[in-house]
């Protein structure tokens, strides 16, 4: 977001973005750069299943390489919640949910907001 000045935004919203970016911490760093102090980052992202013993997790692992080829690099094994936890936000409100999609591979989502 090179055209956006430092600390100039009240809110940044990302929906279903991080599955497409190899370096999520770099995205979060850029979000923090443009947010003013107290500004909020809202997100909803599909992620890796946290239940390692589930069929969803198994099929995510098996299908991810093929999925990435077919769906333009989309990664269904992202652990974006860890990147958010590691980023230096002053507050993080994050929930793991199952989105109402018939495609089980992309059911696990995180939704929430972080405050700079």
Ligand X SMILES: C[S@@+](CC[C@H](N)C(=O)[O-])C[C@H]1O[C@@H](n2cnc3c(N)ncnc32)[C@H](O)[C@@H]1O
Between 48 and 52, CB nearer to ligand X: 48
- CB-closest chain residue to ligand X: 15
DSSP string for residues in 5-51: PTT-EEEEEEES-GGG-S-HHHHHHHHHHHEEEEEEEEEEEE---S-
To the nearest whole angstrom, how small is the minimum distance from the Cβ of residue 71 to ligand X?
8
Under the binding rule (CB under 6 A), the answer on residue 111 touching ligand X is no
Selection from 3, 13, 9 nearest residue 36 by Cα: 9
100 near 84, Cβ under 8 Å?
Answer: no
Between 44 and 115, CB nearer to ligand X: 44
To the nearest whole angstrom, how small is the minimum distance from the Cβ of residue 53 to ligand X?
28
To the nearest whole angstrom, how small is the minimum distance from the Cβ of residue 113 to ligand X?
16
Under the binding rule (CB under 6 A), the answer on residue 90 touching ligand X is no
Q: φ, ψ for residue 87 (rounded to 5)?
A: -70, 160
Structure tokens at 30: 């850029």
Under the binding rule (CB under 6 A), the answer on residue 21 touching ligand X is yes
To the nearest whole angstrom, how small is the minimum distance from the Cβ of residue 43 to ligand X?
10
Distance between CA 106 and CA 45 in Å, rounded? 9
Residues forming contacts to ligand X in the complex (CB under 6 A) are 15-17, 20-21
């Amino acid at each position: 977001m090179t055209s956006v000045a430092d600390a100039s935004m009240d809110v940044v919203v990302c929906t279903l973005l991080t599955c497409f970016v190899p370096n999520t911490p770099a995205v979060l760093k850029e979000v923090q750069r443009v947010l003013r102090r107290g500004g909020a980052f809202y997100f909803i992202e599909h992620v890796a299943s946290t239940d390692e013993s589930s069929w969803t997790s198994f099929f995510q692992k098996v299908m991810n390489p093929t999925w990435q080829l077919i769906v333009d690099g989309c990664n269904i094994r992202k652990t974006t919640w860890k990147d958010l936890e590691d980023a230096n936000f002053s507050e993080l409100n994050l929930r793991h949910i199952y989105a109402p999609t018939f495609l089980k591979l992309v059911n696990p989502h995180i939704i929430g907001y972080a405050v700079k």
